[in-house]
């Protein structure tokens, strides 16, 4: 369908084109659009310029455009520099403060374009100015907010560091007397202070067990404080993961036997070797196996599987215990987080073990994943690299 596209028919230099250009410039009021002569004096003035800068055409035409610049910019030669750059490069773009007739400032985006005739002689400049004061205000507000957040973040980091140092110091100071109490209670229970009555032995045994739990909590706090402070340096070596698991199970055999739980192994006969910090990796296995036993009822089953691929070794410890609801997964590896279930009160604990285990495996360049169904059981899968990930 044909259309009357009069704009397409306009030719540069024609009276119609000139009229259209004048109409365009005079209609736009969001931009100051005007011409400068080769020396920078104002030659035209559109309604947008009057609205933005406050001058009428009679007041401003013929004056040098530097009248819009702050004193320090004029002293630095900025207006003259902009004309030189526009002439040399064809145009120049700048952002900065500009001054209105009433002396108020606004943040402006300015584009100055050099105009040449057909013979290449400079005939003047076209200048377009936009008021970006609102954007500048938002940017400054955002900058202030970011600075405040940085300060708050630094303060929080200092507080967190102080907290970690306090926990570490307090734990060190608590562990020494607690270990002394354990030693002397052990001596009394072994009969070194004379025969005990049944009631005395019962009370001392309770005290010994409570003290043991206190030492375990102190050790957890120390381990977490060290890993959070970045003081844990892994000493890796190649170890047979299957043998480490067998040692851990043997160590916990008495506790597992008391609960009449069965341990099922699926471990390759050939050694499966990973590059790990033996002591800490073993403690991770101990932690997860201990949890599997604690959160599984008597006569339950714990299954331990080991496999590997080209790059990684994986260990899965699965139980037939109380399980974990999906909604609790996000809390599982957080500090001081304990998931409530039918055995949690009986089991107790600090809520630090899994957090520490997660961080240690993370330092190895590995992962811990969990899969669980309430009432059916839980599987923790540890994956660590076969080779060292250290740079």
| 329 shares a domain with 221 | no
Q: Are residues 52 and 95 in the same domain?
A: yes
Q: Tens digits of per-residue pLDDT, 303-351?
A: 999 999 989 999 999 999 888 888 777 788 887 666 666 665 555 556 7
Cα angle: 357, vertex 358, 362; to 5 degrees? 115
Examine the domain organization and report whether 240 and 381 are in the same domain: yes
pLDDT band at 20 (very low <50, low <70, confident <90, very high): very low
Residue 11 has pLDDT above 80, yes or no: no
Average pLDDT over residues 187-203: 90
* pLDDT reported for residue 339: 67
244 and 380 share a domain?
Answer: yes
Q: Which two tokens stand for residue 279?
A: 């002591």
The total number of structural domains in the chain stands at: 3
Tell me: do 312 and 214 sit in the same domain: no
In a domain, 391, yes or no: no
Query: Of 78, 103, 131, at which residue does a domain stop?
Result: 131
Euclidean distance between CA atoms 5 and 96, whole angstroms: 40
Q: Cα(136)–Cα(287) distance, rounded to whole angstroms?
A: 55
- In this structure, of 71-80, 124-133, 217-226, the range with the lowest mean pLDDT score is 217-226
In a domain, 106, yes or no: yes
Q: Residue 7's pLDDT band (boundaries 50, 70, 90)?
A: very low
Residues 6+ apart with CB under 8 A from 305: 265, 266, 267, 314, 315, 316, 318
Does the pTM exceed 0.85? Answer: no
**One domain for residues 208 and 68:** no
- Which pLDDT band holds residue 159 (cuts at 50, 70, 90)? confident
Judgement on whether residues 240 and 350 belong to the same structural domain of the protein: yes
Domain membership flag for residue 18? yes
390 inside domain: no
Containing 38, the helix (H) or strand (E) segment is: none
Q: What is the pLDDT of residue 5?
A: 45
Do 208 and 247 have their domain in common?
A: no
Lowest mean pLDDT among 235-244, 326-335, 359-368: 326-335
Is 151 domain-assigned?
yes
- pLDDT tens by residue, 88-113: 999 999 999 999 999 999 999 999 99
Say how many residues make up the chain: 391
| Residue 194 covered by a domain | yes
**How far from chain centre, in Å, is Cα 335?**
17
- Kindly report the number of other CB atoms within 10 A of residue 248's CB atom: 21
**Domain membership flag for residue 327:** yes
Share above pLDDT 70 across residues of the chain, in percent, rounded to a whole number: 85
- Residue 391 confidence (pLDDT): 43
CA distance 165 to 337: 21
Distance, in Å, from the CA atom of 272 to the CA atom of 314, rounded to the nearest integer, reads 10
**Is pLDDT above 80 for 225?**
no
The parent domain of residue 370 ranges over: 236-385
> Are residues 221 and 277 located together in one domain of the fold?
no
Instruction: Single out the residue in 212, 228, 244 at which a domain terminates.
Output: 228
Nearest to 356 by CA among 212, 220, 174, 231: 220
């Amino acid at each position: 369908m044909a259309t009357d596209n009069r704009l397409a028919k306009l030719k540069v230099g024609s009276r119609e084109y000139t009229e259209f250009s004048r109409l365009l410039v005079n209609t736009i009021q969001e931009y100051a659009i005007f011409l400068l002569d080769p020396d920078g004096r104002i030659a035209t003035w559109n309604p947008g310029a009057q609205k933005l800068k406050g001058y009428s055409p009679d007041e401003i035409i013929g004056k040098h455009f530097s009248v819009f610049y702050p004193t320090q910019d004029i002293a630095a030669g900025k207006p003259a520099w902009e004309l030189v750059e526009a002439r040399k490069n064809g145009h120049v773009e700048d952002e900065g403060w500009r001054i209105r007739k009433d002396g108020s400032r606004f943040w402006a985006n300015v584009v100055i374009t050099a105009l040449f005739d057909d013979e290449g002689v400079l005939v003047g400049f076209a200048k377009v100015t936009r008021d970006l004061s609102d954007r500048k205000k938002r940017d400054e507000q955002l900058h202030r907010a970011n600075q405040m957040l940085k300060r708050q973040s630094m303060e929080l980091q200092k507080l967190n560091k102080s907290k970690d140092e306090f926990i570490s110091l307090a734990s060190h100071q608590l562990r020494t007397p607690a270990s002394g109490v354990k030693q002397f209670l052990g001596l009394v229970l072994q009969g070194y202070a004379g025969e005990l009555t049944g009631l005395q032995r019962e009370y001392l045994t309770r005290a010994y067990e409570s003290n043991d739990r206190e030492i375990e909590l102190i050790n957890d706090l120390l381990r977490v404080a060290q890993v959070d402070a970045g003081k844990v340096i892994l000493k890796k070596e190649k170890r047979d993961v299957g043998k480490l698991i067998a040692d851990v199970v043997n160590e916990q055999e008495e506790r597992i036997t008391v609960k009449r739980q069965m341990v099922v192994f699926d471990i390759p006969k050939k050694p499966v070797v990973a590059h790990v910090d033996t002591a800490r990796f073993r403690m991770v296995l101990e932690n997860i196996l201990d949890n599997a036993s604690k959160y599984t009822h008597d006569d339950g089953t714990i299954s331990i599987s080991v496999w590997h691929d080209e790059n990684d070794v994986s260990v899965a410890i699965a139980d037939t215990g109380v399980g974990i609801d999906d909604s609790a997964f996000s809390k599982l590896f957080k500090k001081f987080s304990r998931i409530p279930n039918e055995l949690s009160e009986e089991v107790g604990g600090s809520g630090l073990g899994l957090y520490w285990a997660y961080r240690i495996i993370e330092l190895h360049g590995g992962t811990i994943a969990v899969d669980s169904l309430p009432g059916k059981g839980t599987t923790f899968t540890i994956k660590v690299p076969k080779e060292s990930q250290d740079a």
